[in-house]
Structure 1
Amino acid sequence: MAFTKRTLESPTGALLTLYESAAEGETRGVLHINHGLAEHAARYERFAEALAQTGWAVVAQDHRGHGLTTAPDGAPRLFAYEHGWSKVMADAAAVNAEAREKHPGVPVVVFGHSMGGAVSLNYAMRYPETIAGCAIWNANIDKGAAGLIRFVTGLGLMFSKPEKPAGLIDALTFKAWDKRFKNDRPESGWLSRDLAEVDRYVADPLCGWTASWSLWRDFAGGLAYAADDKNLKAVPKSLPFHLVGGTDDPATNNAKAVELLGARLRKAGYGATQEILEDFRHETINEKGREAVIERFAAWLSRIG
Structure 2
Amino acid sequence: MFDTTERLPSPTGANLAYHHEPARTAAIGILIICHGLAEHSRRYRPFAEAMAAAGFHVYAHDHRGHGETTADDAPIGRFGLRSGGITATRDVQAMRNMATTAHPDLPVILFGHSMGGLIALNTAEAFPASFNALAIWNSNFNPGIAGRAAQLVLKTERALKGSDVPSTLLPKLTFGAWNKSIGEGRTDFDWLSRDHAAVDAYVADPLCGFDASVSLWLDIFDLTFRGTQNDNLLKLPQSLPVHLVGGGCDPATDNGQAVKWLSRQMQSLGMTRVTCNIDRDMRHETLNEIGAATAIADFSEWATRVLPEPSAVPGPDWE
TM-score bucket of the superposed structures, by smaller chain: over 0.9
Comparing 141-150 with 87-96, greater Cα deviation is found at 141-150
3-state SS in 2 of match to 1:243: strand
- Listed one character per residue, the Cα deviations across residues 198-244 of structure 1 (whole Å, up to 9, x for unaligned) are 00000001101110001011111111110211111211111110000
Divergent runs of 4+, >4 A: none
> Once the 2 structures are TM-superposed, how far is the Cα of residue 10 of structure 1 from its aligned partner?
0.3
Determine the structure 2 residue equivalent to 1:101. 101
1:124 offset after TM fit, Å? 1.2
Name the counterpart of 2:170. Answer: 169
Residue 295 (str. 1) matches residue 297 (str. 2): yes
Give 1:266 shift.
1.1
- Residue 50 of structure 1 aligns with an amino acid whose one-letter code is A
Q: Residue 276 of structure 1 aligns to which amino acid in structure 2?
A: I
- 2:90–2:123: 8 Å Cα contact kept in structure 1? no
- The whole-number CA distance in structure 2 between the counterparts of 1:101 and 1:68 is 23
* Kept in 2: contact 1:179–1:186 (CA 8 A): no
1:276 paired with 2:302, answer no
Instruction: Provide Cα deviations, 1:16-52, integer angstroms capped at 9, x if missing partner.
Output: 0011101111111111001001100100001111111
- Over residues 108-162 of structure 1, what are the superposed CA-to-partner deviations in whole Å (9 max), with x where a residue is unaligned? 1100000110101101111011100000000001262642332221122122210
Q: 2:129 aligns to what SS in structure 1?
A: helix
> Which structure 1 segments of 5+ residues have no match?
none
What is residue 255 of structure 2 aligned with on the other side? 254
Say whether the 8 Å CA contact 1:128–1:234 is kept in structure 2: yes
Cα deviation, residue 79, structure 1: 0.7
Give the letter for the 1:164 counterpart.
V
Question: Could you say what secondary structure the match of 2:5 adopts?
Answer: strand
Distance (whole Å) between structure 2 residues aligned to residue 278 and residue 3 of structure 1 = 33
Secondary structure of 1:224's aligned partner: helix
CA contact (8 A) 2:247 2:256 kept: yes
2:261 partner letter: L
Give the CA deviation at 1:185: 1.8
Q: 1:125 to 1:143 in 2, by over 3 A?
A: farther
Determine if contact 1:143/1:227 at 8 Å carries over to the other structure.
no
Partner of 1:50: 50
For residue 286 of structure 1, the aligned residue among 288, 294, 304 is 288
Alignment partners' CA distance in 2, 1:137 and 1:91: 20
Using structure 1 for the length normalisation, give the TM-score: 0.97
Q: Deviations over 1:37-85 (max 9, x none)?
A: 1100100001111111111111011000000100012211101112211
Shift of 1:5: 1.8
% identical equivalent positions: 43
- SS in structure 2 at match of 1:211: coil
Query: Is the CA contact 1:10–1:94 (under 8 Å) kept in the aligned structure 2?
Result: yes
2-structure distance, mates of 1:100, 1:188: 37
CA distance in 2, matches of 1:160, 1:178: 27
Residue identity opposite 2:289 in structure 1: E
The 2-side partners of 1:134 and 1:140 are apart by: 16
**Structure 1 residue identity aligned to 2:81:** Y
Aligned twin of 2:155 = 154
Give the whole-Å Cα distance in 1 for the aligned partners of 2:224 and 2:3: 30
Structure 1 Cα separation of the partners of residues 182 and 252 of structure 2: 13
Count matched residues: 305
Letter of the 1:279 counterpart: D
* Residue type of the alignment partner of 2:266: L
Contact 2:179–2:185 (Cα < 8 Å) also in 1: no
The answer on whether the counterparts of 1:4 and 1:21 sit within 8 Å (CA) in structure 2 is no
Q: What's the offset of the Cα at 1:3? A: 4.2
Question: 1:28/1:4 Cα in 2 relative to 1: closer, same or farther (>3 Å)?
Answer: farther
1:181 to partner: Cα distance: 2.8
Q: Distance in 1 between matches of 2:83 and 2:181?
A: 35
Distance 2:90 2:217 in 1: 18
| Deviation by residue 1:88-124 (Cα, 9 ceiling, x = unmatched) | 1111110011111111111111000001101011011
